[in-house]
Structure 1
């Protein structure tokens, strides 16, 4: 009987402790600094980069344009306008990479896309769409800098 009572009490305490929700600590200052809404989310513009129509560029010209493409990515990231960028692995859809712009409108994103030399030269084509995601995404680059041994 004592063992049964002990087991019952043990399970009740376990049930109570597991059923209590973990307290989430809302950081109002951080939320405001990231322009988060009440859900911790915000608007971005997602950009899908595809192969462009320019199929005649020489290897040397393409290399120079893609060096400018990378420099532009780094510039936009430092300005806080680009929160995520990266290439796709080889695929059969002509998808080349993505950008996530830290802007709210397609018009703002178009202006940023026009600063990319590879897009200007039609080596890449940009498809833009509004996107709603966590405001914390903006912190990704700070973390990346801490884990990248070699800088691009």
Structure 2
């Protein structure tokens, strides 16, 4: 299964906001850092606002920030809100199913179980666990986001 760009951008936005809790962040900033379309990101942020995960602040000094604690943002919930469907094959949609094997096919059951396991795994992950800085002894580096094209990071 592959996530849509919409879901990818939603997850990146949430991770960026979680990493910048000390200030308001702009859509332009996120778009620039990740090299993605500002217009597309505006739609993503609007949807995240409707879910209550993100708060938008209007005005000259406005921007956006997390509206919930990272530990309270479940990644499975995010994916369910942003993906259009989880139909892994044609047979999942009865109105468009033309597969000859459907009446006795075991593959559909396997794919349904795989999708359920995938979502179950995502349900066990929070935004906090994705953005938590690791102790120095681990081989994993903490998340550091810099603008594209070798630009130096912005210093506040």
Superposition TM-score, scaled by structure 2 size? 0.24
Q: Which has the higher contact order (CA 8 A, sep 6+)?
A: 1
Please state which structure has a larger fraction of its residues in strand. 1
- Structure index of larger Rg: 1
Tell me the TM-score normalised to structure 1 length: 0.25
